[in-house]
Structure 1
Amino acid sequence: MDTIGFRISSLGQRPNKDLLNRYKNIATPLLSDNMNRLQGAYANLKPMHKNGRLVGPALTVRTRAGDNLMVHKAIDIAQPGDVIVVDAGGVTTQAIIGEIMMRLAQKKGINGFVIDGAIRDTDAFIQSNFPCFAKGSTHRGPYKDGPGEINEPITIGNMIVNPGDIIIGDMDGVIAVPLQHAEHILKLAIEQEKREQLTFEQIELETIDRSWIDETLRKKGCVFV
């Protein structure tokens, strides 16, 4: 029988490499807009690294606040290209990862971390292009007692993440695309990107139509004095 709260599951299905490659240049706002702006993590999950986009399948971890035993185990079982996504309850009193764990993850070919909690050794992250998104930083280290879960559904920054979802992180934040909808969301995002490129061109040519603003105001009952 499974022990809820202290268990390790297999990741199961991962997105194929072709699909991941097609996500590498898609900005998070385009993905967010096409998931009705409800799926992205809150803005308090910030990039802690110098530069670099984050793309890869989610290897999910749930741990009690301030404990990183299961995060260590996740590093050991992760495959190259995975993104370790940690629900640490949003608590920042103890760091969940630091430079040693970052170096271990880099050596294994892990694509990055998303930590709904704190990190430490912040200078090492700031000077690195290894993607890491976190809520904050602290010098206080973690405990290593458990419990926790690996590859179960989690919530980070009010965003549900299932194992194998595609994680995308850039300077605007982090978003998870459900794997079963990934092809469709990508198609919509690319179409929006083309429309926005046309808008940029119209701005430069001074041909953009802004009449929609006044039309919306009138429909909403705004009075022009």
Structure 2
Amino acid sequence: MQELGIVHRTINRASRADVEALAAFAVSTIHEAMGRLGLMRPYIRPVYPTARLCGTAVTVLLQPGDNWMLHVAAEQVQPGDVLVAACTTECEDGFFGDLLATSVRAQGGVGLVIDGGCRDVASLQEMDFPVFSRAINSKGTIKATLGSVNVPVVCANALVNPGDVVIGDIDGVVVVPASRAADVAESARQREANEEGKRQRFEAGELGLDMYSMRQPLEAAGLRYIDS
């Protein structure tokens, strides 16, 4: 059971160089480079289409319908951090809006991922403050019950430890453990270079059937071509 009422003020963040390296790649590339791991559930979506983020996680455990701990977490934000908020049970209330975004940005925060709701989307888009959320919901929240800050959380089925790297784009959100950040960035670079080579071959008209040597296994599986 997760301990409540705790704020860890010292966390081990992935290095700035590793975060910047990962920021160059798409979520899908990073997910594949990490061995098809780290993705949050696909219901976590950007609240506006151009939202994108990459930063180190300050984690928040919320109680349903209560955003008290987001205000507590804002004090722990350092430049380049992303708030990652989970809830003790499913809740789609509007935990976060433009005022909290203003507060988080003033501390150097670069976005939010929340397994819950947010609101004030037009203002968030105008601010270009990236939020990835479970829902958009105008329903307000209270400030009455303790959660925790900078503890391990499970957000949309992904384990997030404080200081991990969180990357979000139009395809979703992926989490890279801080200890793997450098290796995953290098694997993503290699994968992207390999994909560029394949892209050029596709543009030249080569088929995936031949590039990936699919014809023989397809024949062995029983695929038949009929011309008449």
TM-score under structure 2 normalisation? Answer: 0.90
Q: Counterpart of 1:13 in structure 2: which amino acid? A: N
Q: Determine the C-alpha separation between the residues in 1 that align with 2:216 and 2:124.
A: 48
Q: Which residue of 1 is the match for residue 102 of structure 2?
A: 103
Q: Which residue of 2 is the match for residue 202 of structure 1?
A: 201
How far did 1:58 drift? 0.3
In the TM superposition, 1:66-81 aligns within 5 A as 66-81=65-80
Q: Determine the C-alpha separation between the residues in 2 that align with 1:160 and 1:75.
A: 21
Equivalent residues of 2:166, 2:174 under 8 A apart: yes
In the TM superposition, 1:38-53 aligns within 5 A as 38-49=37-48, 51-53=50-52
Query: Closer, same or farther in 2 for the Cα pair 1:215/1:160, shift >3 Å?
Result: farther
Deviates more, 1:115-124 or 1:44-53: 44-53
How big is each residue's C-alpha offset from its partner over 1:124-143, in whole Å with a ceiling of 9 and x where there is no partner? 12333211100111111111
Q: Determine the C-alpha separation between the residues in 1 that align with 2:155 and 2:217.
A: 35
| Two-structure CA RMSD over aligned residues (Å) | 1.8
Q: Counterpart of 1:224 in structure 2: which amino acid? A: R
User: Aligned pairs, how many?
Assistant: 221
In the TM superposition, 1:141-220 aligns within 5 A as 141-208=140-207, 210-211=209-210, 212-219=213-220
Is the partner of 2:6 in helix, strand or coil?
strand
TM-score under structure 1 normalisation? Answer: 0.91
In the TM superposition, 1:28-67 aligns within 5 A as 28-49=27-48, 51-67=50-66
How far did 1:72 drift? 0.6
Equivalent residues of 1:96, 1:117 under 8 A apart: yes
Q: Which residue of 2 is the match for residue 224 of structure 1?
A: 224
Q: Determine the C-alpha separation between the residues in 2 that align with 1:36 and 1:174.
A: 15
Q: Return structure 1 stretches of 4+ with deviation > 3 angstroms.
A: none
Gaps of 5+ in 1: none
Q: Counterpart of 2:101 in structure 1: which amino acid? A: M
